[in-house]
């Protein structure tokens, strides 16, 4: 064995243990960092070619790994924008230059200057805009169509009514009469039943719709819809019911359409209407849209849907937060700010949504803590310290032997 080789091996061992102590130090320093993933140092031997009569000492090679796929414990908070992933998947965030990254650090807060959701490291949460009712246009293997989650887009607003549903029973026992005219709302005694519902125009103003039911023949009714402020009928329809079951048979689609004054075209679902020998009984009425109202809160569902909650109690979906996974998460490259980027070994990204496929779910009001165990780290520190001391003794002994060899000349 070469004495110089002995020195190099000792130095290699000290360098390796120094690397291990560095990862232990990082782990301990980030034991309370949200979304931090524990680093560990693994060793592998580097051997030299040897003969039967001599031995050439080798060295040790280090490889730093991150336990990215190991989920950390969760703590719960009172902020709905604090997000944790229960299961696999990463949030997509971007830095100020627009570069996308992956992270599990979900401590997001509203930036007062921009209204964007940013975490402690200044990365902005990304999602898909669904405020217009559209489906997220997600690319399976890319970040296309993702936009920053901007809560300023949820300021005071109104949403016009476009759909509704009416479920009621009309009395089959009443006597048929002549159908009323549609130039103006029917006068009392010229129809059998009337109900009203509130809808909203483009500016959030209330539009009360009066709905009149008039039996015109056996199992046949005329259904007229008027604006309560006056004018001709917005819609006139003939309804037909099955004489045996009392269920609606016409219109076949089970819907009627009309235009709301100052608003949008509305489709009213009446497919669950019935004609039975019982008093007129409204069972349920629903419609979308809302009056002008101020956002009072935000809700984020387990499926990643971000909803604006308005003072009037209405909720409107505005964003959908995706989750991204890779085939080998532990092979991602970890960067400053608890973010990751893909490598050749990690594989390409796969974009999906929470609760779909193998993706986990999003928990609002929770944070994923560091997966560092302090007891383990202190144990590793002691082991690394002892090993470092042992390697230093090897170096010291080699140095002493070299001194003996040099003194042979004297």
Alpha-carbon distance of 336 to 327, in angstroms, equals: 22
Q: What is the mean pLDDT of residues 337-356?
A: 93
pLDDT at 135: 85
pLDDT tens-digit profile of 284-305?
999 998 888 777 788 999 999 9
Does position 107 have pLDDT exceeding 70, yes or no?
A: yes
Please name every residue paired with 199 in a beta bridge, in sequence order, or none if there are none. 207
Does position 1 have pLDDT exceeding 80, yes or no?
A: no
> What ranges make up the beta strands (E) of 234-357?
235-241, 248-250, 255-259, 265-269, 274-276, 281-287, 290-293, 295-300, 305-310, 315-320, 323-325, 333-335, 339-341, 350-352
Domain boundaries, the chain: 3-70+371-407, 74-156+294-368, 158-292
158-292 homologous superfamily: Flagellar hook protein FlgE (2.60.98.20)
The pair of structure tokens assigned to 279 is 């008093």
Please name every residue paired with 295 in a beta bridge, in sequence order, or none if there are none. 310
pLDDT at 77: 94
pLDDT tens-digit profile of 401-410?
877 777 776 6
pLDDT at 370: 93
Does position 146 have pLDDT exceeding 90, yes or no?
A: yes
What does each C-alpha distance from 380 to 11, 30, 61, 92 come to in angstroms? 20, 16, 18, 33
Look-up: residue for tokens 């608890």? 338
Percent of the chain with pLDDT over 90: 67
pLDDT at 90: 96
Q: Which among 133, 166, 157 has a CA at the least distance from the CA of 258?
A: 166
């Amino acid at each position: 064995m070469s004495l110089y080789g002995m020195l190099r091996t000792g130095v290699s061992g000290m360098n390796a243990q120094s690397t291990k102590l560095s990862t232990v130090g990082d782990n301990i320093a980030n034991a309370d960092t949200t979304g931090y993933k524990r680093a560990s140092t693994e060793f592998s031997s580097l051997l030299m070619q040897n003969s039967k009569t001599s031995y050439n000492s080798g060295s040790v090679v280090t490889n730093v790994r991150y336990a990215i796929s190991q989920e950390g414990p969760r703590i719960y908070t009172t902020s709905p924008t604090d997000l944790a992933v229960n299961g696999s998947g990463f949030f997509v965030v971007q830095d100020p230059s627009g570069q996308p990254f992956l992270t599990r650090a979900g401590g997001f807060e509203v930036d007062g200057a921009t209204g964007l959701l940013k975490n402690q490291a200044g990365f902005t949460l990304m999602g898909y805009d669904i405020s217009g009712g559209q489906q997220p246009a997600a690319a399976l293997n890319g970040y296309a169509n993702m936009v920053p989650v901007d809560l300023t887009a949820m300021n005071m607003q109104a949403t016009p009514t476009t759909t509704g549903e009416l479920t009621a029973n009309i009395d089959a026992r009443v006597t048929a009469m002549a159908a009323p005219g549609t130039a103006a709302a029917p006068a009392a005694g010229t129809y059998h039943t009337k109900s009203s519902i509130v809808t909203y125009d483009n500016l959030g103003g209330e539009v009360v719709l009066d709905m009149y039911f008039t039996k015109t023949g056996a199992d046949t009714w005329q259904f007229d819809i008027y604006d309560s402020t006056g004018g001709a009928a917005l819609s006139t329809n003939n309804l037909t019911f099955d004489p045996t079951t009392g269920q609606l048979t016409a219109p076949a689609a089970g819907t009627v359409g009309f235009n709301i004054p100052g608003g949008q075209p509305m489709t009213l679902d009446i497919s669950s209407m019935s004609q039975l020998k019982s008093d007129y009984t409204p069972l349920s009425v629903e419609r979308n849209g809302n009056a002008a109202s101020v956002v009072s809160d935000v809700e984020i569902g387990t499926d990643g849907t971000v909803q604006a909650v308005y003072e009037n109690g209405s909720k409107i979906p505005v964003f959908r937060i995706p989750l991204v996974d890779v085939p080998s998460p532990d092979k991602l490259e970890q960067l400053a700010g608890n973010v990751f980027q893909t490598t050749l070994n990690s594989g390409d990204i796969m974009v999906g949504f929470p609760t779909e496929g193998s993706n986990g779910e999003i928990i609002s009001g929770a944070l994923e803590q560091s997966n560092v165990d302090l007891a383990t780290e202190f144990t590793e520190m002691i082991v690394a310290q002892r090993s470092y001391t042992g390697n230093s003794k090897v170096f010291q002994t080699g140095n002493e032997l070299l001194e003996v060899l040099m003194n042979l000349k004297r």
